């Protein structure tokens, strides 16, 4: 049993299991590091961590084209449903078993709002995602600061791969992400949410080297590269 993870740039991932294709935070159009166009991706489901434009990205267009179900916190799901998208609302701490796998939403410490011409719309709480399928678990932390309950996420779950932000400024930087990696106890850690814009430029290779010094396997994936677990 395998799960194939493909990094699409920024915080976006494609997940391929034996019988399904999923996307997490498909920010493709307008992403200078995107490895694929929005009209090329496959999706049976789209999982969203929060409402910011660099995470919701092309969700509406992809969902309408593919018929994918969008899984998000209640408030964001309600806004997306009003755009004509099929949704499944959830909230923090909740889990649900779908035909494509099990999704559980975790805490994440960040913001979440939809920017419109008339102002910002509340997008609900930001979240992390624990996705389990084919006997494997992928933890996408979402945009977040370092927080103590990451220890519990690591204690209570057997995480095969974790994607953690290292960009700093808006999220954890490399120093805090190194601590998070030790706490979540993933077998492999993939850095994300860096180098998309100058403000979040980071040396991912250096971060992975620091992981190795702690006995943690790290993988730097260039946009378009995959890792199979």
Write the Ramachandran bin of 25: left for phi over 0, alpha for psi from -120 to 50, otherwise beta: left
Q: What does the radius of gyration of the chain's CA atoms come to, in whole angstroms?
A: 16
- Average pLDDT of the segment spanning 118-124: 94
Q: Is the pLDDT of residue 1 over 90?
A: no
Classify 192 as helix, strand or coil.
strand
The rounded distance, in Å, linking the Cα atoms of 108 and 113 is 14
Q: Is the pLDDT of residue 89 over 70?
A: yes
- Average pLDDT of the segment spanning 77-89: 97
Alpha helices (runs of H) in the chain, residue ranges in sequence order: 53-56, 59-66, 74-82, 150-156, 174-184, 204-213
Instruction: Tell me if the pTM is above 0.75.
Output: yes
What is the tens place of the pLDDT at every residue in 12-55?
999 999 999 999 999 999 999 998 999 999 999 999 999 999 99
Q: Is the pLDDT of residue 148 over 80?
A: yes
- Average pLDDT of the segment spanning 167-171: 98
What architecture does CATH give domain 4-228? 4-Layer Sandwich (3.60)
User: How far is Cα of residue 92 from the mean position of the Cα atoms in its chain?
Assistant: 15
Token pair 């805090």 is found at: 176
The rounded distance, in Å, linking the Cα atoms of 128 and 121 is 20
The string over 62-99, giving b where at least 16 C-beta atoms fall within 10 Å of a residue's C-beta and e elsewhere, is bbeebebbbbbbebbbebbeeeebebebbebeeeeebe
Confidence of residue 156 (pLDDT cuts 50, 70, 90): very high
What is the tens place of the pLDDT at every residue in 197-225?
999 999 999 999 999 999 999 999 999 99
- Average pLDDT of the segment spanning 92-117: 97
The burial class, CB within 10 Å (0-12 / 13-18 / 19+), for 148 is exposed
The burial class, CB within 10 Å (0-12 / 13-18 / 19+), for 191 is buried
- Average pLDDT of the segment spanning 95-119: 96
Q: What is the mean pLDDT of the chain?
A: 97
């Amino acid at each position: 049993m395998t799960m194939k993870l493909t990094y699409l740039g920024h915080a976006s991932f494609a997940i391929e299991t034996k019988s399904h294709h999923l996307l997490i935070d498909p920010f493709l159009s307008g992403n200078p590091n995107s490895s694929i166009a929005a009209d090329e991706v496959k999706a049976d489901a789209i999982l969203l961590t929060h409402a910011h434009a660099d995470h919701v990205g092309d969700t509406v267009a992809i969902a309408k084209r593919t018929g994918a179900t969008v899984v998000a916190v209640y408030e964001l799901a309600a806004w997306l449903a009003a755009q004509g998208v099929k949704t499944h609302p959830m909230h923090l701490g909740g889990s649900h078993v779908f035909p494509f796998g099990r999704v559980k939403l975790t805490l994440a410490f960040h913001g979440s709002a939809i920017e419109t011409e008339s102002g910002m719309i509340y997008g609900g709480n930001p979240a992390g995602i624990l996705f389990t399928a084919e006997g494997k678990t992928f933890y996408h932390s979402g945009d977040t600061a370092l927080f103590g309950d990451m220890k519990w996420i690591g204690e209570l779950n057997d995480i095969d791969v974790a994607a953690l932000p290292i960009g700093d400024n808006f999220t954890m930087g490399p120093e805090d992400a190194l601590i998070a990696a030790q706490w979540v106890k993933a077998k492999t850690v993939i850095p994300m949410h860096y180098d998309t814009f100058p403000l979040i430029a980071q040396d991912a290779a250096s971060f992975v080297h620091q992981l190795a010094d702690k006995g943690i396997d790290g993988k730097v994936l260039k946009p378009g590269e995959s890792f199979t677990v």
